[in-house]
Amino acid sequence: MATITPLPVLFVNDLVVLPGMVVPIELDDASRAAIDTAANSSDGKLLVAPRLEDRYPSYGVVATIVQQGRLATGEPAAVVKAESRAKIGSGVPGAGTALWVETEEIENAEPEETVKTLASEYKALVVSTLQRRDAWQVIDTVNKVTDPSALADLAGYAPYLDSAQKRQLLETPDVSERLTQLIAWTKDHIAEVEVNDKIATDVREGMDKTQREFLLKQQLAAIRKELGEDEPDGADDYRTRVEAADLPEDVRKAALREVGKLERGSDQSPEAGWIRTWLDTVLDLPWTTRTEDSSDITAARGVLDADHHGLEDVKDRIVEYLAVRARRAQRGMEIVGGRGSGAVLALVGPPGVGKTSLGESVARSLGRKFVRVALGGVRDEAEIRGHRRTYVGALPGRIVRAISEAGSMNPVVLLDEIDKVGSDYRGDPAAALLEVLDPAQNHTFRDHYLEVDLDLSDVLFLATANVIDSIPQALLDRMEIVSLDGYTEDDKIAIARDFLLPRQLERAALTADEVELTDAALREIAADYTREPGVRQLERLLAKALRKATTKLAGDESEGKQVIDLDNLRDYLGRPRFTPEAHERTSVPGVATGLAVTGLGGDVLFIEANAVPGKAGLTMTGQLGDVMKESAQIALSYVRAHAEQLGITDPSVLDSSIHVHVPAGAVPKDGPSAGVTMVTALTSMATGRPVRSDVGMTGEVTLNGRVLPIGGLKQKLLAAQRADLTTVFVPKRNEPDLDDVPAEVLEVIDVRPMTDVAELVNLALEPAVKQEYAVA
């Protein structure tokens, strides 16, 4: 049965005393009373317990007073030796002024085999910890301890355990539990020490390496200086330039890594030249330079109007883009270096309508830098993404070079002739453009030469193309299509007067006082000397006329001012190249006037049909594609099936050999939009009724005579205007497209939407001639 002994209590602050420990204790009044009472009334024994704020302690240690005296500071103190763990009971009366309590000493039982195993493991951990501190004398002391409980209580001296952990050991009588807890705490401490030691070693080694490299660099610089080989663009110079440059963090790391290779390598190594070229390229890029967009919408529109006539769709789209950016900036919603802040506009239209020159005007209206990237004929994927640095003469791609040339990260980049990009064994450049032109991806564009992320999200990309058929669908899906379908005759005259003529006068060194070109002459040139959707040929003719005028002035200065008008236009330009021919071509039955779209814009297409004796069949000539051949088959089948409805009195003519020809034979043609024209030509041939010379038509036809919609309606109507056609039949479902057609074109052309080809044919053919017979 456990013995209960009353003892005076000594409470200590910030100290936990475990059995076996000898500790000095600074004495205050309460502590002195406990020491004195113990010395006088209990054979020098007392209970030492931690002072707790939240509760009364449950355990303490029975200790013996070893010595009393004073500290070096003069304060009274006592040295006590803890002997055994004791459980604290209730308070009891006793001698002196100290607090007396009942104490129940806890005796250590004979250790089991499990406890001995835990004690061995813990001892090994303690020795390992002490070895790191070179505490060999303490190791000898620990090795001499054989009692597991005493070994566990030695943790009272452990500096890596806090007061709460030591108090937990004091309040844990079971030796097995104490050892298990101590093993876990000691392992954690060893792991922490190992990590700290590794960090300290790495830091020390890094500092030693840096100091060594600095010393070696200084020595190398001194040697080079003595040899007269000091280079202003050495590795040190590049390191200084990289550290001084305002580079993104990942680019800076890559650049410093390359500088390190340059420093470690030989100047005679081929790699040194590659690294220098790469570093020059990286440092020349405007990583953090951006121009500020103009926020004046009215001024931007004024710039666009001053540079280009017409093109309202493009101007509206650019102004909308600028307006949205200005509003986002006002509300603090700018997206720089993030997804979706760029824009990609594709300007699609025939040559000479101003697609390329429009890009520069857009840049001026936005207040941005402008750079043009010509893609016509590019067949190498590396032209877009760059070459790997391992190749001789490697360079970054055209996109990176354009950014470097522009000197800012938000220029207007014009990708000219994107429909002329080809592909071969070196890859497909159009596939490389997929990432460049995707606003959701191009903020991390990676060039093969640079091998670092380049943010293209704030670049305004403009692409130009004549046709969209040759552009891959995936690439086309990333662009916003803006169509430039060509100019009307009035547009051409205004452009010639305001833009082309002043430019050509300057090139010919003439003034408006020396040469005058009347509006009538300009209209004649636009109508009969050119047949184009754009104004390029018109400008060439103006240049030719002014050269003639310059020659006349050079021959005789007394001639005075040269006035070019209708009556003398032939003297300057020769005879007209184009005259209306629809009346002549459709004067015989079997010829109909269709409308088509080519890469050069809209054009008039004549379809001829003829029947010759022979085996029933259909012959087609004129370099027709498969779709157009199918349209001819459908047209003939429809005419045969609906001969009576179409007014064909002799259907047998359709059972002979039918020949359909589409001039000009040297030009390839394809597409379904000539279906109604073929039906009209076949019906005209079969009835003998000519097609009206002022009529043009377009539309796909089905076997049951439905007129289906087509594309390029605006370009086709512009071509009809140039050919002096006054009536054009179009599919009913294309009626919404008339909103895009200039009003001046609709004023001179009677556009008739149709759904039934039989009705169209009846309106397109001349009325049948009634024969009169004399009565005998």
User: Which residues are catalytic, by number?
Assistant: 673, 716
Q: How is residue 468 annotated by DSSP?
A: S
Tell me whether residue 81 is annotated as binding.
no
Cis peptide before 527 (omega within 30 of 0): no
Both structure tokens of 425: 């064994």
CA distances from 345 to 314, 398, 464, 476, 481 (A): 9, 19, 9, 10, 6
Pairing of strands 76-92, 22-26: antiparallel
Cβ contacts of residue 148 below 8 Å, gap of 6+?
111, 115, 116, 118, 119, 175, 179
Tell me whether residue 482 is annotated as binding.
no
Strands of 460-465's sheet in order across: 370-374, 412-416, 460-465, 343-348, 480-483
Question: What's the rounded Cα separation, in Å, for the pair 252 and 712?
Answer: 51
CA distances from 284 to 279, 363, 407 (A): 8, 22, 8
Question: What's the rounded Cα separation, in Å, for the pair 219 and 614?
Answer: 101
Contact criterion met (CB below 8 Å) for 712 and 597: yes
Given CA atoms 225, 227, 232, 235 in this order, what sign does their dihedral have?
Answer: negative
Tell me whether residue 340 is annotated as binding.
no
Angle, alpha carbons 691-692-698 (nearest 5°): 75
* Cβ atoms < 10 Å from Cβ of 750: 13
Long-range (24+ apart) CB contacts under 8 A made by 131-134 are: 132/193, 132/197
**Given the structure tokens 């001829």, which residue do they identify?**
608
* Cβ atoms < 10 Å from Cβ of 512: 11
Tell me whether residue 351 is annotated as binding.
yes
CA distances from 338 to 224, 264, 413, 444, 699 (A): 47, 37, 19, 9, 46
Tell me whether residue 613 is annotated as binding.
no
The full length of the chain comes to 776
471-488: b (≥16 Cβ within 10 Å) or e: beeebbebbeebbbbbbb
* Cβ atoms < 10 Å from Cβ of 730: 28
Both structure tokens of 343: 């824009």
Question: What's the rounded Cα separation, in Å, for the pair 721 and 31?
Answer: 117
Tell me whether residue 310 is annotated as binding.
no
3-state SS class at 642: coil
Strands of 601-612's sheet in order across: 617-621, 657-661, 601-612, 591-598, 695-697, 727-731, 750-754
| Rama region for 630: left / alpha / beta (φ>0; ψ in -120 to 50; rest) | alpha
Tell me whether residue 93 is annotated as binding.
no
3-state SS class at 592: strand
Tell me whether residue 57 is annotated as binding.
no
Give binding residues as ranges: 349-356
Give binding residues for ATP as ranges: 349-356
